[in-house]
A and B are shown apart, each in its own frame.
Chain A
Amino acid sequence: MKTPQVTQRLMVTSLAALLLLAACRREEVTHARVAKGADAPSEMMPPAMGGAMPGSGGAPGMGNGEVAPPPPPDPANTLKWTLPPGWTEKLEGGMRYATLKPGTPGKVEVSVVMLPGPAGGELANVNRWRGQLGLATVDEAGLAAIRKAIPTSAGALGLYDLISDGTVKTRMTAALLAATNGNTWFLKMTGDAEPVAANQADFTRLLESLHFDASGAP
């Protein structure tokens, strides 16, 4: 009976081919090197999902499973500062209000972010920063021990100097300003430990110069 044998072989071969095709779907971690800025956020998601989320700002503002972008700073209460010599600044359009860059070489930059309200509070935000550097969280007493208060005319400002563990150290000198109008401003100098240390004095002077421009003039 040659025909059934041929048919049986055919069936087995077809089934094996089907299983092989199914087995081809094993997936792995992918890797790509892309130019800065080429990895744009997804346009495929609904606006609420693609919008700004204070993921690095510390205050979830969400409801009904979606995330509302924070409102822009009130133009009548724009934070101002005196830029140290050699520094450059760029006003951003999204959640990040501005980016400042010292004139010294090395990896270092300052981000300026504004969030409405207390934005989770000082303890939660400092612990979030510590978590980013792989440092253990602190309690209220620990917070007070590492906090350095800087007087400004814009409001109470707490400064925290954090350094990561490891052989390549990252340093984050971060200031949290509880503004007089109720909003919270974050000014964070981050980068390699050496260039951050080299710009500490300038950054402190910049923080001391913080004030609000009630006219809203640029």
Chain B
Amino acid sequence: MQKSENKSKLTKFLDAALSLKVTIVALAMLMVLVVACTLAQVDMGTNGAVNAYMRSFVVWWKPTGQNFSIPIFPGGTTVGFVLGVNLIASQLRGLARTWAKLGLWLVHIGLVLLVTAEFVSAALQVDARLAIEEGQTVSFVERPQEFELAILDTSDPKLDDVYGVPESLLKGGGTIAIPGTPLSLRVHAYFKNTELGRKAEGDPPTMATMGVGTGVTVKEAPPVTSDDEHNRPATFVEPLAAGKSYGTWLVSAAMGAPQAFVHEGHTYQLSMRPRREYLPYALTLKKFSHDVYPGTDIPKNFSSLVHLVDKPAGEERDVLIFMNQPLRYAGRTFYQASFGKGDTLSVLQVVENPGWLLPYISCALVTLGLLIHFAMGLRRAQRKRQRQAAAAQNA
């Protein structure tokens, strides 16, 4: 009896959860999130706002001057998940599996695919940048919002071995083994953002016992997310090799030149930099163009003429990248994003998203579904009218 009542309650809950009202409320919430996220980009930057509003389970609000945050709205992940489940389940339960409902099936599948595409993007999309000067050849992209501790073994006369320790590992602390080397790093501290200053008398002692850091004070700063600000992460690490310590070093993104130590004839350089990913091909910037309308400073077009060389694939060609005309190559899309250094530096946004086609497929399905649905409706109306006309004639 009790079991039957529980089942009944569950059914009622599911009925409510899978109703059209939930669909409408979830869609309305998504609209609110989109507006709020767009407005928040002014202060938080694109990436910060998207992470806070769209790629979160809950939207938090921190009262001014307080140390705590209050949950104020479901985040995009929660709303998207509810909407996705609602759409799939209501479709499975409520929509008749007949040819007459083909259009609505396609619309539902398209919407579900759209929600799924956002989850796929959130989980798998990698945003990076490629900054390249005229005449320069570059075969790596960088993620400006993420950092890594780079260790370069410069001992080989022709090739450098580059090891990247992502900041997620540095945050965890402990000892990190560097595969392929006798080295391991003991992480004493990691700061997402810092301000560095010259160490003065009376300053607290530093953790650094080697390198430039012995004369530097490190002050932790609040992390920044806006597009025109950069975090300056810093870490205190102690390289260990063959049971020997090479002292504790301060490595910071505010230091331009790397610091180095030698172990068994190998010189290891330490530096903090935006996370780097190497490509099996290279791009050379032949020319960057910044066109303006005649007689004005109003931008008309930005374009980068690059030379692509992919020796393993036997590919070599010139490519012109300009606004809305990206280069799509080997799973990555290179968009013209910015420029600098007196129009000699081009900055390309590089997006790697295995699910990039999903939104297009989704839109096509929704469009096709609506067309079929309305076409069928029109056909039914026409037939009804024809029947009525025939009936009137017969009468």
Contact = CB atoms under 8 A, between A and B. Distances in A.
- Say whether A and B bind each other: yes
Interface of A: 1, 3-4, 6-7, 10-11, 14-15, 18, 21-22, 24-25, 27-36, 38-46, 48-67, 69, 95, 107, 120, 124, 128, 131-134, 164-170, 192
A66 B253 CA distance: 10
Residue of A7, A50, A55, A63 contacting most chain B CB atoms (<10 Å): A55
18 contacts: A4-B10, A10-B85, A29-B178, A30-B277, A31-B161, A32-B164, A34-B278, A35-B159, A43-B132, A43-B347, A48-B254, A49-B254, A53-B212, A61-B198, A65-B197, A95-B257, A134-B246, A169-B265
Given A29-B179, A31-B163, A32-B162, A51 B18 contact: no
B160 A65 contact: no
B227 interface: no
Contacts of A65: 194-197, 219, 221, 232, 254
A32 B141 CA distance: 13
B144 interface: yes
Interface of B: 7, 10-11, 14, 18, 77, 81, 84-85, 88-89, 92-93, 119-120, 122-124, 129, 131-133, 136-140, 142, 144, 148, 152, 155, 157-166, 168-169, 176-180, 194-198, 209-212, 214-216, 219, 221, 230, 232, 242, 244, 246-247, 253-267, 271, 273-274, 276-278, 345, 347
A24 to B, nearest CB: 6
B253 A39 contact: no
Nearest to B270: A55
B263 A60 contact: no
Contacts of A46: 230
Contacts of A134: 244, 246, 261-263
Given A41-B256, A49-B230, A56-B259, A30 B18 contact: no
Contact of A45 (B176, B253, B278): B253
A169 B120 CA distance: 51
A169 B265 CA distance: 6
B81 A18 contact: yes
A28 B93 CA distance: 44
A170 B267 CA distance: 9
A167 B182 CA distance: 14
A30 to B, nearest CB: 4
A55 B257 contact: yes
Given A29-B179, A33-B161, A128-B210, A133 B278 contact: no
A55 B211 contact: yes
B130 to A, nearest CB: 9
A34 B138 CA distance: 11
A55 B234 CA distance: 14
B198 A44 contact: no
Contacts of A57: 257
Contacts of A132: 210, 260-262
B392 to A, nearest CB: 45
Contacts of A48: 254
Contacts of A7: 14, 18, 85, 89, 92-93
Contacts of B212: 53-55, 58, 60
Contacts of B88: 10, 14
Contacts of A107: 155, 157
Contact of B232 (A18, A24, A49, A51): A49
A134 B209 CA distance: 12
A35 B158 contact: yes
B259 A31 contact: no
